[in-house]
Structure 1
Amino acid sequence: MPLLIHLRVLLVAAGLAVCRGYPTDGAGDARAYNSSMCQRSFPCGGLNIHYPLYLSNESKVVDGVAYSYCGYPGMAVLCDDSRATLQLAWGTNYTVLGIDYDNHTITLADADILASNGGCPRPRHNVTIPREAWLNFTPTGNTTISFFLNCSLAAPPPPDVVPINCTGFDPGRGSFLAPQLGAPDFDPSVACNEVYVAPVLTGEWLTSPEHRRRLGDGGYGDVLRRGFRLSWDPSAGPCFRCELSGGRCSYNQLGGFLGCLCSDGRVRTTDCGPKKVSKKTITAIGSSAAALVLFLLLVVVSFLYIRKRRQYKMTSSSRLLKYSNSGGTPRSRGGSDLESDSVHNLQTHHFAYEELEEATGGFCDTRELGDGGFGTVYKGQLRDGRVVAVKRLYNNGCRHVEQFVNEAAILSRLRHPNLVTFYGCTSSRSRELLLVYEYVPNGTVADHLHGHRAGERALPWPLRLNVAVEAAAALAYLHAIEPSVVHRDVKTTNILLDADFHVKVADFGLSRLFPLDGATHVSTAPQGTPGYVDPEYHQCYQLTDRSDVYSFGVVLAELISSKPAVDVTRDRDEINLAAMAVGRIQRSELEQLVDAELGYGFDEATTKAMTMVAELAFRCLQQNSEMRPPIREVLDGLRGIQEGGAREKKYDVVVVPRSPNTVHAPWDSMSTTPSITSSA
């Protein structure tokens, strides 16, 4: 449990003020607030909008506390042109179609989709719910449509994938959609330029073949305009007592509870005073008091432990994490500290925006290196002569700023020869958020395996094996530090190669820190790239370090086969490379998986090494995470193969008995990057 949550629970339970700015007098009353700014209700777009929603311009409602508001976090409504709009993420607006206060749900539709003309709107972004918002996707009534736009295909897609036959889409490149229910196990090809997942309401269009046939002819537009449904929990957080007394909760812009806004125009720390409640309610509150006391004892112990851990907080960039080739365990700050950092507070160099603008030639298109997950990457040269790569956050709000800060916060504390070097970023007061890395000139491993540089044949087997060893060394370092880091997006496009073909693992926008309390997993909605996401993580929403091991198993399969992780031109049961590799290895058909041009079957040493690597990949790709080896064991195995000293007993068997536990289960394409998620 993060430190701030511990503090709030302690203060609320003790009946104290949660934040400064609300001193109480002897009668227990606090300051007055401008109640005229917190209207009881207001009409907008044919809807009656009231608490817990609030007008977005209701700020500074409490004297002395800026950026506070009277409603739940993340539920600010902008009323403009007789239309109610809710902004879920920076720059992404959703029109409010309906509100059900009794069932605590709100129906939204993408404002860009509603404003589009014609029946074939073009999806532009995924839905991301800010972490501090009190909104969640309803467990029932919603499903998704996956869009795969501008794909280059050598063969027709699977029959259940619906082609989009609309004007406005590039006629030379295929575009497709796949509803979640009844859709095939379809992942977008690496040749698809854009992938989006749109939430929609479940309805007749999913179950009726007639409706499904009309989707690709523009019928999907009607489905998108019907919107999707989010819900909120009125009993969540510390404001339950406030609402029970007839008050309304006030929060700051970070989601911190400020106080209880009462009908007499005053602010109180926890509630609005005595209110008649039923005997049943009193009994329920009393019965939970004993449990609360026990809980508070645990909270106090946890709080003292976390406070002690924070004493190790680093105070300057000279005390950044250190590394050793033997995989040491450098220490860092507690996980809650790291993930709550702002760009301004990062212990790293802050560049001026003007310097980076000059270094990249005004972010000239000719200097664009590619897409960095949530921003565009440009090549530049600093005034001191260093050649750098500059990542620029998308301005259209299609990616969450939190991922940007997360990558800067994590990389500023990591040092390893096989991780991309982080030079710094702009401050939070800059015109734009920019990250600065070392420039890695030799492209990505994906480029050399099956991309535009594959024809150069610059990656013979010894180099590929070294790529595997160095990438595993980088992951072993991440998993060994305290708090450990799970990359969560291990793939060949995030493994860069320098001029000497040494590995530089990059792109930490989706990475997560593991707490220092010995937790075995972090519960979070699946994120990652199709073809690489751990199926157990996708199904159970539990992220572990073995999720990285699964993704690395796909990388190993790519290194020995030269095939992309996802290819819709392959047979349906082999679109996913992980499924193909597991199946071919189980059937003793390794020669049909490996790239024969690497020397497999012709050179005895190469054949033996590739067979051993295939066995390692097979172990990494087990659906049950407990059956996968830790990354340190994978690294030791790869080093043994590279040195030619691997024990025959451990690596001479490739085919294992077939069982349900070793068969890769197909999974749907709901989890694309970035996924629909309410937690980062």
Structure 2
Amino acid sequence: MGNCLNSSSAQVDTTLSSHASGTSKNVSKSSYSGPSSLTISSYSEMSSASSLQTPRSEGEILLSPSVKPFSFIELKNATRNFRPDSVLGEGGFGCVFKGWIDEFTLTASKPGSGMIIAVKKLKPEGYQGHKEWLTEVKYLGQLRHPNLVKLVGYCSEGDSRLLVYEFMPKGSLENHLFRRGPQPLPWATRLKVAIGAARGLAFLHDAEEQVIYRDFKASNILLDAEFNAKLSDFGLAKAGPTGDKTHVSTQVMGTQGYAAPEYIATGRLTAKSDVYSFGVVLLELLSGRRALDKQKTGIEQDLVEWAKPYLGDKRKLFRIMDTKLEGQYPQKAAYTAATLASQCLNLEPKTRPRMSQVLSSLEELQASKGASKDHHKVMSSPVGKSPMRQVPHHRQSPRNLTPLASPLPHHRQSLQVR
């Protein structure tokens, strides 16, 4: 596809070391999508869709009344013929294009008028295939919640597979935490993002028919103009266990650095696997460091292993806090958040809190006096003495750089058992 950015979707195999049993799994680089910002109904209205109607066939999935079946020509017109200057991002799945449609008729409109959308176009040789495409339509076509990205529609015409999302103007959390930007995220915004993401996960877990997200990570958390977080990319989502079952047995899929160790080791998936992943993202919000960073050395490559010794010590917590915060965060609230992250990262799944409990704790933290103030200096050692080393921007891989305000596809490092 000549109108895409430089493709880096070639398959890459690496070895994933399990935190749990020392076993290793084959990790193949796959693709990931991320979407986009329509006006969404109130929280109470949207979150009432807690019962997921499970379609029995592909035809029933595609007949969902809440998503529009677009023709290929409609999306071609909406994106100005998929022009290169409309590209928002690119991944193994394909390209994501910016487009415009009329907000009432949902027909293509002139650039700059109507409603902005993000159109994700599957390329035939991509690693995210029809199955994941259909899974996204299945879940996002039925689930409605303020903290889930909205799927506007899809296109299934011949070999063409496209998804149409609301546009998220602030892009992904990953971009704000790890890319060069005008301003680092202040403490209050980080807490707001964590709460929004937790609401999304709690909604999925507490639905009448439970949904396990399975790929919770910073790049899948998209932000609207007010930094409200929405979960995107449901290609790996799975229905939770039913009846007297305690887990769902699946092929191990997810992203290296975020996947729960017991899931990597056994393939047994539960909602507590998502809780572990949330703990990793919470650590990323606190530290400003990636879950897995091969540019660092030794134990510092793995955020969880590096940070764990500091999470329970108020006097040493400053060592893992993001230096870009310049000490502007409430020490007590940061320690509470670190303790919560530690609980989510417990190696024993049963002892991890439920997402509803995590959400409640974060909301209490936000409501506590002074917890969200950004100008509260840490009383411990000076931040300048933190051992955390920032990776210079010029060392970041160019292929991973994506526009700030885009709902972007990324490369999903799939943990595949072969």
Q: Give the TM bin, normalised by the shorter chain.
A: 0.7 to 0.9
Match of 2:132 among 378, 390, 403: 403
**Displacement of 1:433:** 0.9
Cα distance in 1 between the residues matched to 2:25 and 2:178: 17
More displaced stretch, 519-528 vs 323-332: 323-332
Quote the residue 1:386 is aligned against: 115
Matches within 5 A, 1:533-572: 533-572=259-298
Residues 641 and 599 of structure 1: CA distance in aligned 2, closer, same or farther (over 3 Å): farther
Percent of paired sites with the same residue: 35
Instruction: Give secondary structure in 2 for the equivalent of 1:463.
Output: helix
| C-alpha contact (below 8 Å) 1:352/1:430 kept by paired residues | no
Cα distance in 1 between the residues matched to 2:80 and 2:165: 17
Provide the TM-score with structure 2 as the length reference: 0.74
Quote the residue 2:73 is aligned against: 354
| C-alpha contact (below 8 Å) 1:529/1:673 kept by paired residues | yes
Matched, 1:590 2:314: no
Residues 535 and 339 of structure 1: CA distance in aligned 2, closer, same or farther (over 3 Å): farther
Quote the residue 1:63 is aligned against: none
**Displacement of 1:179:** 9.6
Cα distance in 1 between the residues matched to 2:288 and 2:323: 10
**Displacement of 1:343:** 5.8
Quote the residue 1:426 is aligned against: 155
Cα distance in 2 between the residues matched to 1:522 and 1:179: 22
Provide the TM-score with structure 1 as the length reference: 0.47
Cα distance in 2 between the residues matched to 1:592 and 1:512: 37
| C-alpha contact (below 8 Å) 1:637/1:646 kept by paired residues | no
Residues 570 and 554 of structure 1: CA distance in aligned 2, closer, same or farther (over 3 Å): same
| C-alpha contact (below 8 Å) 1:374/1:404 kept by paired residues | no
| C-alpha contact (below 8 Å) 1:328/1:480 kept by paired residues | no
Cα distance in 2 between the residues matched to 1:475 and 1:621: 16
Cα distance in 1 between the residues matched to 2:23 and 2:268: 22
Larger Rg: 1
Matches within 5 A, 1:165-244: 196=29
Cα distance in 1 between the residues matched to 2:242 and 2:49: 13
**Displacement of 1:571:** 3.0
**Displacement of 1:341:** 5.3
Matched, 1:459 2:345: no
Cα distance in 1 between the residues matched to 2:288 and 2:365: 19
Cα distance in 1 between the residues matched to 2:43 and 2:17: 44
- 1:124 is matched by which residue type in structure 2? A
**Displacement of 1:598:** 2.5
Cα distance in 2 between the residues matched to 1:553 and 1:447: 19
Residues 425 and 598 of structure 1: CA distance in aligned 2, closer, same or farther (over 3 Å): same
**Displacement of 1:377:** 1.4
Quote the residue 1:10 is aligned against: none
Residues 327 and 355 of structure 1: CA distance in aligned 2, closer, same or farther (over 3 Å): closer
Quote the residue 2:164 is aligned against: 436
**What do you get for the CA RMSD once the two structures are aligned?**
3.3
**Displacement of 1:395:** 1.5
**Displacement of 1:496:** 0.9
Instruction: Give secondary structure in 2 for the equivalent of 1:473.
Output: helix
- 1:378 is matched by which residue type in structure 2? F
Quote the residue 1:377 is aligned against: 96
Cα distance in 2 between the residues matched to 1:356 and 1:123: 24
Residues 388 and 518 of structure 1: CA distance in aligned 2, closer, same or farther (over 3 Å): farther
- 1:593 is matched by which residue type in structure 2? I
- 1:590 is matched by which residue type in structure 2? L
Tell me which of the two structures has the higher relative contact order, counting C-alpha pairs closer than 8 angstroms and 6 or more residues apart. 2
| C-alpha contact (below 8 Å) 2:23/2:265 kept by paired residues | no
Cα distance in 1 between the residues matched to 2:362 and 2:16: 40
- 1:407 is matched by which residue type in structure 2? E
Match of 2:50 among 285, 307, 330: 330
Cα distance in 2 between the residues matched to 1:344 and 1:643: 42
| C-alpha contact (below 8 Å) 1:546/1:625 kept by paired residues | yes
Quote the residue 1:124 is aligned against: 10
| C-alpha contact (below 8 Å) 2:184/2:324 kept by paired residues | no
Deviations 1:480-532 (A, max 9, x none): 11211111111111111111111121111111112543532110021111110
| C-alpha contact (below 8 Å) 1:523/1:541 kept by paired residues | yes
Quote the residue 2:403 is aligned against: none
Matched, 1:510 2:243: no
- 1:330 is matched by which residue type in structure 2? S
Cα distance in 1 between the residues matched to 2:92 and 2:333: 34
Quote the residue 2:208 is aligned against: 482
- 2:52 is matched by which residue type in structure 1? S
Deviations 1:595-648 (A, max 9, x none): 244354x66xx111111111111111111111110000000000000000699x
Instruction: Give secondary structure in 2 for the equivalent of 1:433.
Output: strand
Cα distance in 2 between the residues matched to 1:571 and 1:673: 20
Match of 2:226 among 487, 492, 500: 500
**Displacement of 1:364:** 1.9
- 2:10 is matched by which residue type in structure 1? R
**Displacement of 1:325:** 7.9
Deviations 1:52-75 (A, max 9, x none): xxxxxxxxxxxxxxxxxxxxxxxx
Quote the residue 1:641 is aligned against: 365
Residues 388 and 441 of structure 1: CA distance in aligned 2, closer, same or farther (over 3 Å): same
| C-alpha contact (below 8 Å) 2:50/2:143 kept by paired residues | no
Cα distance in 2 between the residues matched to 1:372 and 1:507: 13
Residues 352 and 518 of structure 1: CA distance in aligned 2, closer, same or farther (over 3 Å): farther
Cα distance in 2 between the residues matched to 1:387 and 1:401: 25
Cα distance in 2 between the residues matched to 1:329 and 1:520: 24
Quote the residue 2:84 is aligned against: 365
Residues 598 and 350 of structure 1: CA distance in aligned 2, closer, same or farther (over 3 Å): same
| C-alpha contact (below 8 Å) 1:123/1:196 kept by paired residues | yes
Instruction: Give secondary structure in 2 for the equivalent of 1:459.
Output: coil
| C-alpha contact (below 8 Å) 1:620/1:628 kept by paired residues | yes
Quote the residue 2:339 is aligned against: 615
Residues 364 and 195 of structure 1: CA distance in aligned 2, closer, same or farther (over 3 Å): farther
**Displacement of 1:579:** 1.3
Residues 123 and 349 of structure 1: CA distance in aligned 2, closer, same or farther (over 3 Å): closer
- 1:532 is matched by which residue type in structure 2? Y
**Displacement of 1:467:** 0.5
| C-alpha contact (below 8 Å) 1:342/1:405 kept by paired residues | no
| C-alpha contact (below 8 Å) 1:524/1:543 kept by paired residues | yes
- 1:369 is matched by which residue type in structure 2? L
Residues 549 and 442 of structure 1: CA distance in aligned 2, closer, same or farther (over 3 Å): same
Residues 332 and 461 of structure 1: CA distance in aligned 2, closer, same or farther (over 3 Å): same
**Displacement of 1:345:** 3.6
Quote the residue 1:317 is aligned against: none
**Displacement of 1:458:** 4.4
- 1:511 is matched by which residue type in structure 2? A
Structure 1 unmatched ranges of 5 or more = 1-121, 127-144, 147-177, 189-193, 198-320, 648-671
Cα distance in 1 between the residues matched to 2:222 and 2:16: 34
